[in-house]
Amino acid sequence: MTPNVSKPKILIIKHGAFGDFIQSFPSFEAIRKTCPMAHITLLCDPSLKEIAALSPYFDEILTDQRERLGFSLSKWRCLQKRLKIISQYALVIDLQQSLRSQIYLSFSGHAKKRDILKKLGKKTPLHALIRQAKYLQELHIPPLAPQKANWLIEAGKIQLPQNPRGPYIVLCAETSEKHRYKSWPLQNFIQLAFLLAKEGFQPILTGKKAAPLKSQERLAKLNILDLRGKTTIPDLAKIMSQADLCIGADTGSMHLATFCGCPTLVLFSTFSDPRFHSPIPLKAGDVTTLQARDTASLSFRKVLESALHLLKKLG
């Protein structure tokens, strides 16, 4: 049974995080394709509002800030207001599948949708894309395969040099204070950039804004582009779409790279299982993973060796 289009108000709950949101693009597209006449609203984290607004999937975007644990009258009133809004939708699709989103379903008149999540369960490990596909099937929404996010790439404003020294290699030099075991040291990215430049490639460093590097002058001499803190998400998507390879740790940016059609080399620690957390390639063979107990223990020479092998294989 197809969702009732006589009551076309649909709410999709997907708070985040960034990488999980990127992986939900196929689900968003499937819902829009199945219910083309529906008024589709997204409930997401405020940090994702800008990218969601660029997409062709939603008619309206609501934001929902995560509250700290604890009770207060203001929090209770905020929850009541949120539940009242959610209760007005004919169909609520919970792609977040968290305790918070299940509470929303339970107390807004959409408990049956919560029961579908219980049926799927979380005892069997599944990749997020596969779990979402199974969930959509329970809602009689045919899932779709991942597609290139051209709408996001086209929103990028950045202009790369017209005459690069060689093929672009994006180095996602991102670190996580919260998940340090997943991070690869910035200095390793710098050393990798030097080696790739010597091999005839045009490395591009991306990531959050940071202080100038001691090796900044050397980077400039080798024409290595340091774009840390200088790109929007659409800019990054545009860069990745023009690159031959993207290298980085297990972060959201690596999922973005695959949806831009860029082959990726992802560095994992043993705290994450690549079978369930690695990016899903648009084309077979476009995602390669390296794993060590601690991501930081992967040497830049080992990563270089894997990158060169992958580039040769990709042709």
Same domain (yes/no): 192, 71:
no
* Domain finish residue from 119, 147, 175: 147
Same domain (yes/no): 207, 282:
yes
Is there a domain that residue 3 lies in? no
- As a whole number of Å, the end-to-end CA separation of the chain is 46
In the chain, the number of structural domains is 2
Please report which helix (H) or strand (E) contains residue 289, including its range.
strand 287-292
Same domain (yes/no): 139, 219:
no
Same domain (yes/no): 117, 248:
no
* Domain finish residue from 80, 112, 147: 147
Single-letter amino acid, residue 216: Q
What is the pTM (predicted TM-score) of this model?
0.90
CA dihedral 172, 50, 261, 11 (to 10 degrees): 130
Is there a domain that residue 1 lies in? no
Same domain (yes/no): 304, 210:
yes
Rounded Cα–Cα distance for residues 215 and 191 (Å): 10
* Domain finish residue from 147, 169, 187: 147
Other Cβ atoms closer than 10 A to 175: 17
Same domain (yes/no): 120, 166:
no
Token readout for 176 is 């996580």
> DSSP state, 208?
S
Rounded Cα–Cα distance for residues 251 and 255 (Å): 7
Is there a domain that residue 104 lies in? yes
pLDDT tens digits in sequence order for the chain, 315 residues long: 454 445 589 999 999 899 999 999 999 999 999 999 999 999 999 999 999 999 999 999 999 987 765 667 787 788 899 999 999 999 999 999 888 998 898 888 876 655 555 555 555 788 999 999 999 999 999 999 999 999 999 999 999 988 888 999 999 998 666 667 788 998 999 999 999 999 999 999 999 877 666 667 777 777 889 999 999 999 999 999 999 999 999 999 999 999 999 999 999 999 889 999 999 999 999 999 999 998 999 999 999 999 999 999 987
Same domain (yes/no): 108, 189:
no
User: Which residue do the tokens 């400039």 mark?
Assistant: 220
Same domain (yes/no): 165, 250:
yes
Q: What is the CATH number of the domain that holds 269?
A: 3.40.50.2000
- Give the domain extent around 14: 9-147
Same domain (yes/no): 48, 171:
no
User: Which residue do the tokens 């620690």 mark?
Assistant: 269
